[in-house]
Amino acid sequence: MKFNPDEMSGFFGEFGGRYVDESLISELEKIEGFFKECVKEDAFWDEFYDLLKNFVGRPTPLLFAENTTKALGGANIYLKLECLANTGAHKINNAIGQALLAKKMGKTRIIAETGAGQHGIATACVCARLGLDCEIYMGEIDTERQRPNVFWMEMFGAKVIPVTSGTRTLTDAVDEAFRVWSTRTEDTYYLIGSALGPCPYPDMVREFQSIIGRETKKQFLEKNKVLPDILIACVGGGSNSIGFFSDFLDDMDVKLIGVEAGGRSNSYGDHAIRMTGTKGTVGAIQGYKSLFLQDSDGKLLPTHSISAGLDYAGIGPQLAYLGEIDRIQFTSAKDEAVINAVKFLAKHEGIIPALESSHALAEAIRLAPTLEKGTNIIVNVSGRGDKDIFITAKAIDEAKWFNFLEEELKRFKAEK
């Protein structure tokens, strides 16, 4: 789908829009104006692509997963390796695009929300490179649980601010970032981390992430001369999936599958499934209209996933729309299948996928054996799994990991 900024409405069916405090409307209009200008400027894209090439390491490879394909005995499996991008995931593509836009607007201070810390790291990294001040808002509980990520953000020179309101997690960090922003827009740009939030963010984030799908299409066509049959991506807010899918939206023979966090069970609070089964309900929360897991007062409900990047109660408006019109099929993967997918990929391909990406891989592993030989599936490996060692090692070999942590602390104390 070729993006035409002049036709951008900020709506996808009934979803999207701009549901924010009056005080932010004119700033969002200003961002939209700059974005539309930038889209038409070769100089802007030249700088963007130059950073993607020399700083991020793009294009990321498209790998034929030969061993996986043999082991599963059905469809061919290809992997788009976003895990090899600088900072280990796709999030940096968007962070660079928006940071360049902010600079163009003359902003000197970037703020961002983060849950587990992946978007915080990508944003802090890009701010270090581009010489921008950076403040990351993070729920207090998350700052405690995700110490390694806070450490790296601080190494990049960012100030990490623990948010102590509400449940002290991602939802509250988003609210706080909006609140802080509304008090100071003159020099400050809010760099949102997924394909959601008020217009123009969902369109901007998709355009900056669409490099994933464009590269994939070119790489696959060069090798195979035909389009793939199925694309699979995990869906949190929706940035890696919409970036992967967007260049294929008009190719109606290409099936698109989004995989949500099935968590521990289908019970309340145990998952982050917004698009199937009991589903989310329509609401206008945190700046945009979409499907949300919410209570009757429009308060976001708690969620669970083994992967911190997929446990948000809302979904990007364009994905919600594409799900409603059946252009994207949604499914989910449970925590246990996700851990098994990490093990499978490590053993068969020498690749350690992020727990988020492993949702998409779990679906590929389930689906491939049921399909005819010669069917081509591409999975977006949105990030690498080194960051998950505290979760993965505990889930796979608890006793050894416990012992390591205990001994490490003993050694640490003995040294002091």
Active site residue ranges: 91, 113, 382
Q: Name the β-bridge partners of 283.
A: 290
Q: Does 18 bind ligand PLP (CB under 6 A)?
A: no
Residue 270 or 356: the one with the smaller Cβ distance to ligand PLP is 356
- Interface segment toward ligand PLP; rule CB under 6 A; list 18-26, 131-139, 174-182, 353-361: 353-361
273 close to 332: Cβ distance less than 8 angstroms: yes
Q: Is 354 in the site for ligand PLP (CB under 6 A)?
A: yes
Q: Which of residues 364-403 bind ligand PLP (CB under 6 A)?
A: 382-383
Q: Which stretch binds ligand PLP (CB under 6 A): 1-9, 232-240, 272-280, 399-407?
A: 232-240
Contacting ligand PLP (CB under 6 A), which of 237, 263, 283, 287? 237
Q: What angle do CA 212, 215, 218 make, to 5 degrees?
A: 145
Of the two residues 76 and 395, which places its CB atom closer to ligand PLP in the complex?
395
Total H helices, total E strands in the chain: 16, 14
Please, which residues have CB within 8 angstroms of residue 331's CB and are 6 or more apart in sequence?
257, 258, 259, 260, 276, 363
Query: Of residues 58, 80, 91, 107, which one binds ligand PLP by CB under 6 A?
Result: 91
Please identify which residue in 123, 169, 188, 357 interacts with ligand PLP, judged by CB under 6 A.
357
Write the DSSP string, 264-288. Answer: S-SSTTS-B--SSTT--EEEEETEE
Q: Is 356 in the site for ligand PLP (CB under 6 A)?
A: yes
Q: How far apart are CA 343 and CA 356, in angstroms?
A: 14
The reply to whether 303 sits near ligand PLP by the rule CB under 6 A is no
Tokens of 299: 């308060």
Residue 192 CB, nearest approach to ligand PLP (Å): 10
Among 39, 174, 235, 364, interactor with ligand PLP by CB under 6 A: 235
Residue 360: alpha-carbon gap to chain centroid: 13
Residue 89 sits at φ, ψ, to 5 deg, of -160, 175
Candidates 283, 281, 285, 241; CA nearest to 261 is 241
Least distance from C-beta 177 to ligand PLP, angstroms?
16
- d(CA 273, CA 314) in angstroms, rounded, equals 9
Q: Taking CB under 6 A as the criterion, which residues in 239-268 touch ligand PLP?
A: 239-241
Measured from the CB atom, the residue of 228 and 238 that comes closer to ligand PLP is: 238
Point out which residues bind ligand PLP (CB under 6 A). Answer: 89, 91, 118, 194, 234-241, 309-310, 354, 356-357, 382-383
